[in-house]
Amino acid sequence: MSELATKVPKLNRLFKFQFEKAQDCYVLLFPEGMIKLNDSASAILLQVDGNKTVAGIIAALEADFPDAEGIEEDVFAFFEHAEQKRWINYV
């Protein structure tokens, strides 16, 4: 398992994660604008609470979506991308 699995992600304080009715999706708001999130990214960020490890988030998503394949790889890829974009950091 990846070293990333033991890290505890939290949302960067410069971003606000919320459901936007006008967009009919979850978004990340920041001072310069807004990022519309797809369903997968939204499901992952809904699990980010500053307490769960990435492995814990993967386990929760696997329980919520038992028929989905490749969740672990998708979650790792998402967190790598989110860290590069500075959406999240680690506790």
Do residues 50 and 13 make contact, with C-beta atoms less than 8 angstroms apart? no
> Residue 44: what pLDDT?
98
Give the 3-state secondary structure of residue 20. strand
Nearest to 49 by CA among 8, 89, 83: 8
pLDDT of 2 strictly over 90: no
pTM: 0.93
Q: What angle do CA 60, 55, 42 make, to 5 degrees?
A: 55
Nearest to 11 by CA among 24, 28, 26: 28
Q: What is the pLDDT of residues 20-52, one digit of tens each?
A: 999 999 999 999 999 999 999 999 999 999 999
Question: What domains can be seen in the chain, in order of their start residue?
Answer: 3-85 (1.10.10.1150)
